[in-house]
Amino acid sequence: MATKHHVVLPGEPIDPSLIPTHPKHPLRLGPGLRHIPPEDIVPTVAGQLITNPAKNSMWIEYNSNRYIPSQNDLVLAQILRSTSDFYLCSLSPHTAPATLPHLAFEAATKKTRPQLSPGQLVYARVSLANKHMDPELECVHPSTGKADGLGPITGPGCAFDVSLGFARRLLMARSREEGGVGVLEMLGGEEGGGLAFETAVGRNGRVWVGSESARTVVIVGRALQETDRLGLGLEGQRKLVKRLVREIK
């Protein structure tokens, strides 16, 4: 995948030899880059320039604390209040609320829509992220009409805040190999003594941990937050999990 590690600062010119070229696919720019017509590609944040020649895409990898919504992100939203047609949800503190239509749930009709109360958590997909409008969410796949794991979060549990970079690593399909985070597997595996829990990771830096046992929720939440804060590697994560399981009774 990515080949070389180049740190870029905002406004720095990118060496043309780093920009991937592909005979068929158009060039795709990811987060942290902007295109100034006709042909300048300029970074807007400080981070590492990553290029993927196979997909003809490039982006900047960086870590921050403020979530800026973008389309198709999976987020953990909190309901603020309900209006006649949609729920207003918070994705990050002090930002304009995102809208979640009452009918954007699986098998929802005017009569059978889910009744959500303020404060409740919803796992949703960002369906519209336009800089001039409030973001829009949905809990149903628009073409199949299936929930695919999205929807209101029920059952005992607690939400924890992590950094955006860590949330992204948790959401990677192969988070242990590519993201270097195996703390959840360890907690459920032999290091953690087979704790039973479920998680919902939001790209907006929030992780919901659910379990019947409060002890498990505390252990998992603390393990996630400390792994993020201390920047632990796989070996450090193993030690942390063992320590938490031993200490928290």
Partner 1 sequence: MTASSAPEVAFGVLPRADGSARYSHAGYTVLASVNGPIEAQRRDEHAYEAHVDVIVRPAAGVGGTRERHLEAILQSSLSQLILIKNFPRCLIQIVLQVENSPENDYVNTKLVQASLNFALMPALIQTAILTLLSAGVPMRATATVTAIAISHDKTIIDPSPRDVETARSVHVLAFTSQDDLLLAESEGDFTVKEWDDVYETAKKICCRPAPDGAAMQLDDDESSAAVGPDLRQFLRSMMESKVAADLHWK
Stretch that binds partner 1, among 65-73, 102-110, 147-155, 186-194 (CB under 8 A): 65-73
Stretch that binds partner 1, among 59-67, 98-106, 115-123, 136-144 (CB under 8 A): 59-67
How far is it, in rounded angstroms, from Cα 123 to Cα 114?
14
47 binds partner 1 (CB under 8 A): yes
Angle between helices 214-230 and 234-247 (to 10 degrees): 150
Q: How wide is the angle at C-alpha 148 spanned by C-alphas 147 and 150, nearest 5°?
A: 65
62 binds partner 1 (CB under 8 A): yes
> Is residue 223 within 8 Å of 181, Cβ to Cβ?
no
How far is it, in rounded angstroms, from Cα 120 to Cα 82?
12
80 binds partner 1 (CB under 8 A): no
Question: Amino acid identity, residue 10?
Answer: P
The count of residues in the chain is 249
What residues numbered 191-230 form the site for partner 1, per CB under 8 A? Answer: none
61 binds partner 1 (CB under 8 A): yes
165 binds partner 1 (CB under 8 A): yes
156 binds partner 1 (CB under 8 A): no
Write each residue from 108 to 147 as x if it is in contact with partner 1 (CB under 8 A), else as -, in one continuous string: -----------------------xx---------------
CB of residue 149 vs partner 1: minimum separation in angstroms? Answer: 25
Residue 109 to residues 139, 187, 229: CA-CA distances in angstroms? Answer: 14, 40, 43
Question: Binding partner 1 by CB under 8 A: which of 14, 22, 27, 44?
Answer: 44
On the 0-12 / 13-18 / 19+ scale of CB atoms within 10 A, 24 is exposed
Question: Amino acid identity, residue 248?
Answer: I
Stretch that binds partner 1, among 15-23, 43-51, 101-109, 136-144 (CB under 8 A): 43-51
Binding residues vs partner 1 (CB under 8 A): 5, 7, 9-12, 32, 34, 44-48, 61-66, 68, 93-96, 131-132, 165, 169, 179-181, 231, 233
